[in-house]
Structure 1
Amino acid sequence: MSSTITALFQSFSQMAKETRLPLKEGQYVTGKVVNMLPKKQAIVQIGNQKLRAQLDASLTSGEHYLMQVKQINNNSVLRVISDRPLSSTENIIQVLKAVDKSPTALNIYMVQQLINRGYRFTRHTLFEGLSILEENGGSSGTKDVLLQMFKNQFPIKESIFQALKTRGSASLTQVLAELTNQKKWENQRLQDLSLLLTGKKPFTSLTKTIKSQLLSELSAGEQTSFSLLKQANINPPQTYYDNFKQQTASIIGRSLENLVTLEEAEQILEHSLEKEQRILAPFKTSDVKNKLAELFKDQLPLTHREIRILKEWSQQIYKLTQSEPPNSAVLTHTTQLIKDESIFLKMKPFLGEGLEQVLQQVDRSSLNQKLQSRFIHTLLTLIQRQVPPDSQAQLLEWVLRGDLFDVNHKETYLLKLKSMMNLSGFQDEALLLKNAEQYRLKGMSIKSLLIQNLQENGAPLNEGVKQALNMLNGIQLLSQHETAHTLQLSMQLPGPLMKMDEDAFVHLEGRKNKNGEIDPDSCHIIFYLQLEQLKETVIDLRIIQRQVNVTIFNDRTNVAAVVESYKNKLSIGLEKLGYQLISLVVKEGKVNTRASLTQLNRQGVDVRV
């Protein structure tokens, strides 16, 4: 990982450090005595929070001390380890003795760093951390990873250490490339997904994947693929699930009442090309691709809740077009929500001026019947084509597998970013908790397949599998930092997926709105890219109240002229999305990450920009 990326992530971590972490009994903490009170009580500052605590010794106001949390309540109890200066050798040796570790130079260094930086630890976590340090040697990389684990309050385990170490030293591009080069995978899906995420053509075609998933789901009574095909108009809207299941069973010549795994479904289709071609007939491969691409393009940049609000609102407007009285309370409430939550701005690229005109007419209670009817028909059709959250990952995989967009299409990069999130396995835990059987039917992610391979196969493949698994776990561990009010998201993408040679990095900063979601009106996004012509490039994108300021850092000459030639196109594109380009600046030289990032405006994120 380059020094620029390292500096970026250190700056991100510095900002995350502001979080108020709860105290836990048994923790060693660095505390500043703000003010001594009678009866050995004091106001103590620990990190960025102050508390009233009972001490077991009288201390000097304004000084820092090493303390241990003994009790947490309205009047916390802190045990003072020593009344000597914070980083005195006596403090460190006393702590090492408590965890039964020798006062070696390496151990003393690590404890001293933890104390000086104010990182919290317990006897158990310190013992585990020093054991990892002894096992892996005292290189600067090892020490940095351990300090990162303590700072973020990660579990101090060897598996977490290896994940973060791999993430900091290896390339995701190279790790996935090695997976695609393996010749002995028993599960073709693992190699296929690795190929997809490195921008290469998978072994299994789009249509065969759809049909295999369809057979497996039909046998389990699951309707995800069936519903997606109907939404894309590949299956006619009047097609009934039970009839379709019976027809498909007749085509393949076997019952679909017993579970058919994905692997079994693929074998069924491999043994008879004629049977495969009859499923989804009369549509050709090109028809399927075009209809899936159209469905993906119609997906609105709205949350599930926002779609529900829009649907409720449109249903009330529809009643007006049918000369029926609407529910005035629902109409008024949803109209206000559409305005307040920027739904109007997000919908403008899809509906043009129609939405604004209808909203104005609702406000004036002077509705144009003809305009309403035409507009509501378009809106309701669009709403019906919205894919449910549980099916979005499947649509993403199909679109990516079919290579349905040109490299310069505006939706391509959004598709690839979402695909990395879904296919890599970053959301596995949440999906498995929600519905393990449904997740298995849809086909496991790279991460799940790696775990399965590690459990089933012998040593020859294990090292490559372990490295890939550690890499994905490391990226996931550092991908999100959330507080009550803000959200940070850091993503690492394989270069070939984005048509680059090396990994790409994206960092997003946002403040949550009143609904606990990211406010899209203001945000700060940083892209770190290795471009073919411009080489190392950092793009700093700041959006405040939908006004956009872009700064590009690059150390090559004549970049400003190239960027300027795209300014008008960028401005028009942003305007269509409801944003205004305020400035586009190119600065030669490396990005001053600390100066740039300490002034972040943490106010939401709109990944579509």
Structure 2
Amino acid sequence: MRASNIVQDLITQDKRTTNRPLTFRPGQIISGKVLKLFPNQIAEVQVGSQKVIAQLEVGLSVNDRHFFQVQSIDGQVQLKVLESPGLNGKQPSVENLLKQLNLPVTKEYVSLLQFFLREQLPITKDTIHMAAEWLKSSDSFQEGLEGIRLLLTKQLPFTKDVFHSLTSILKNEPMSLLMENLLTQIKGEIPTESSNKLSAILTEMTITEKEKISNIALMKLVKDWLSSPDQLKSKTAFHFLQNTGFISTNASEESMVQQGLEKWAKADLVQTKSSPALNIIPELVEINRTGSREELILTLTKLQNIIKNDANGGMDSKALSEIQKVLSDIRNSNIALPLNERDMKALAQAIFQLLAQETDRMELPNGTAVWKQILPILNQTHQSLSKLDNMLFMDQAELSTNLSNEEQTLINQMKNDIKLAGMQWENSHAVKDQIKHLIQSIGLSYEHELLSALKNPEGDTANKAETVKPLLMQLLSEEVSPAIKDAAEKLLFKITGFQLLSQEVGPLLQYVFQVPLSFREIKSDLTMQWSGRKTENGKIDPNFCRVLFYLNLNQLKETIVDLQVQNRVMNISIINERTDMRMLAAPFIAQLKENLIKINYQLSSIAFEKPKDENVNKLKETISSRSAMSHVNGVDFRI
């Protein structure tokens, strides 16, 4: 089975052109046969499988084949004969037509023109010339031809970027692989603001679930160690980091705290720019390093006043008391400058408490990025990460045997954070929200959301620009190496290609997308197609629709699920190589029925099919017949 080509099967579903209504535009070249002649040089001409009544420039003979050029379509189609008919009424040669159009008579041009004629695509001199140029840069001539066919049949803008976007979908390159390739190239170059932002988003999307869990747990540990006002909790987190190997047992806590503060102070964190208290901290760290007593007193006083005057009252208590104590000691010359590790630790922990209070109070969507900046001071070896991961999946009995009560409490809190941040497959609403978040983060809905933001200027426009697509465009506008440019263009074309295939055609909607997913240690890409008639509010009608998705899983391997809904009655077909799929799925069918009833759907049947060639052909035929996209003219993109 060619399940890896499911996307190609989805987007080539309207390949059959027999019933496609003819459209003409001036300058277009067609191949036709004269069927009947009428007075005043009117003739019935057959073009492909359809017939058209046209005004001819010169008289012709019945049954002769010609190449015609459309002169006008006002009122009645007017056709100009480009050359004399071939021998015995046969169509004139393609080579002669190329000569008449002043185009090169080469193997590539002949093949291209024959393809246009065979597929009944609109021919003009410009489209043939441009298509030939694009094919020169295409990795595959056949994929290039299919991209041109898609571009014309779906009535998309005839541009090079649209062509590359469509051909990128025809290739078997998963989006996650393109993301990883770009990440590799970015890491080898001098970082810029856009490349740093892009790298952070792509890393988050491409790491495995196991790596994500470890990172979340590690950030939780670092936050508890550096910012918890509970000294016991802070000490427990520090010793836990030592026991798991992230911090050397020989390292002093004072030196590690200072390293953490200096590392964070150097970070470019957009989310802190709205906080006067946090903005002053990098300045404080630099002044302490230079040892200027007056400047340090002035800066600490400024920080103290900001906290005291905080209108929301969220930044006081122990943090403020500690800063006041250090300030008093400096003024009374009780401590020397620059501050030693012990004194700096007390000040740093007060600052980190402010940092935690501020990020929590502001409900920053990426507040964890604050603690991520500090992670490089840790020894993140494979051994330490594995040890932490094993502890996170210990049952309570094992935890009780191996850890103290304080450490058990810490682990259980980390487990709760992980559960909220991970993919909760048992929760359908959470899965929906997380897939929606991936779609938005990639930028598949960027233009649509940007348009909504323009209509509603009070919305959060800044965050919409912090997604993969606009960051790719920003990166490509900068001076970057050829390797980064190539990798960024490939990913941008892939994203745009899926956007172009997500169409609103008359009363029908079709939405196709691909997002990277992780299952524990396995990476995969989820490809989905949603299609159906639209409701009054412009959404796909949930009562009558079709959902088709493809996944390549670790154990089940390539799996296609075809879900059809008619009047909220659901039929599901699962296509997979395994012969025991029905047995494996049996324990879950009753639960599936119950959960569907809760959301007002009725499961009618589940069919399990082995992907023989006839099944794949049947699937493609079903997609083609039910989508009906090719029978409606005009495209309105809903990106």
Shorter-normalised TM range: 0.5 to 0.7
Return closer, same or farther for 1:439/1:283 CA change in 2, 3 Å cut-off: closer
Query: Deviation at 1:536?
Result: 1.1
Matched, 1:76 2:65: no
What secondary structure is seen at the aligned counterpart in 2 of 1:522? strand
Matched, 1:409 2:431: no
Match of 2:541 in 1: 519
Summarize the alignment of residues 132-531 of structure 1 with structure 2, pairs less than 5 Å apart.
132-136=134-138, 139-169=141-171, 170-181=173-184, 182-183=186-187, 184-187=190-193, 188-198=196-206, 200=208, 201=212, 247=311, 272-279=351-358, 403=421, 405-435=423-453, 438-440=460-462, 442-459=464-481, 461-477=484-500, 479-496=501-518, 501-513=523-535, 516-531=538-553
- Structure 1 distance, partners of 2:110, 2:426, is 54
Query: Deviation at 1:110?
Result: 0.8
Return closer, same or farther for 1:469/1:595 CA change in 2, 3 Å cut-off: closer
Give the aligned residue type for 2:178.
V
Matched, 1:112 2:131: no
- Structure 1 distance, partners of 2:313, 2:56, is 75
What secondary structure is seen at the aligned counterpart in 1 of 2:582? helix
- Structure 2 distance, partners of 1:54, 1:485, is 34
Query: Deviation at 1:533?
Result: 1.6
Give the aligned residue type for 1:171.
P
What secondary structure is seen at the aligned counterpart in 2 of 1:503? strand
Query: Deviation at 1:174?
Result: 0.7
Query: Deviation at 1:99?
Result: 4.2
Unaligned ranges ≥5, structure 2: 224-263, 277-308, 317-347, 369-416, 630-639
Which of 83-92 and 591-600 deviates more?
83-92
What secondary structure is seen at the aligned counterpart in 2 of 1:470? helix
Return closer, same or farther for 1:116/1:443 CA change in 2, 3 Å cut-off: closer
CA offsets, 1:233-263, max 9 Å, x none? xxxxxxxxxxxx98479969xxxxxxxxxxx
Match of 1:39 in 2: 40
Query: Deviation at 1:132?
Result: 2.2
Return closer, same or farther for 1:285/1:423 CA change in 2, 3 Å cut-off: closer
- Structure 2 distance, partners of 1:515, 1:49, is 37
CA offsets, 1:20-39, max 9 Å, x none? 57532222245576765442
Give the aligned residue type for 2:515.
L
Query: Deviation at 1:548?
Result: 0.7
What secondary structure is seen at the aligned counterpart in 1 of 2:477? helix
- Structure 2 distance, partners of 1:488, 1:147, is 19
Query: Deviation at 1:107?
Result: 0.9
How many correspondences in the alignment?
Answer: 449
- Structure 2 distance, partners of 1:409, 1:185, is 39
- Tell me, yes or no, if the aligned pair for 1:29 and 1:46 is still in contact at 8 Å: yes
- Tell me, yes or no, if the aligned pair for 2:465 and 2:471 is still in contact at 8 Å: no
Query: Deviation at 1:71?
Result: 1.4
CA offsets, 1:461-498, max 9 Å, x none? 32322222222223323x31332121222212224389
User: What TM-score do you get using the length of structure 2 for normalisation?
Assistant: 0.59
Residue of structure 2 aligned with 1:549, choices 571, 584, 588: 571
CA offsets, 1:250-278, max 9 Å, x none? 969xxxxxxxxxxxxxxxx9995344323
- Tell me, yes or no, if the aligned pair for 2:12 and 2:150 is still in contact at 8 Å: no
**Structure ranking higher on relative contact order (CA contacts 8 Å, 6+ apart):** 2
Aligned Cα root-mean-square deviation (Å): 4.5
- Structure 2 distance, partners of 1:74, 1:401, is 66
Query: Deviation at 1:585?
Result: 0.9
What secondary structure is seen at the aligned counterpart in 2 of 1:173? helix
Give the aligned residue type for 1:193.
I
Unaligned ranges ≥5, structure 1: 219-244, 253-268, 290-398, 604-609
Match of 2:622 in 1: 596
- Structure 2 distance, partners of 1:56, 1:6, is 46
Q: Percent identity?
A: 22
Return closer, same or farther for 1:570/1:401 CA change in 2, 3 Å cut-off: closer
Return closer, same or farther for 1:176/1:39 CA change in 2, 3 Å cut-off: same
Matched, 1:55 2:29: no
Match of 1:571 in 2: 593
- Structure 1 distance, partners of 2:138, 2:106, is 15
- Structure 2 distance, partners of 1:491, 1:49, is 35
- Structure 1 distance, partners of 2:555, 2:519, is 17
What secondary structure is seen at the aligned counterpart in 2 of 1:119? coil
Return closer, same or farther for 1:538/1:138 CA change in 2, 3 Å cut-off: closer
Which of 23-32 and 501-510 deviates more?
23-32
What secondary structure is seen at the aligned counterpart in 1 of 2:14? helix
CA offsets, 1:393-432, max 9 Å, x none? xxxxxx9997265233212432243223311122333344
- Tell me, yes or no, if the aligned pair for 2:131 and 2:148 is still in contact at 8 Å: yes
CA offsets, 1:189-213, max 9 Å, x none? 312221333355498989999x955
- Structure 1 distance, partners of 2:418, 2:20, is 37
- Tell me, yes or no, if the aligned pair for 1:571 and 1:580 is still in contact at 8 Å: yes
Which of 523-532 and 456-465 deviates more?
456-465
- Structure 2 distance, partners of 1:598, 1:476, is 20
Give the aligned residue type for 1:25.
P
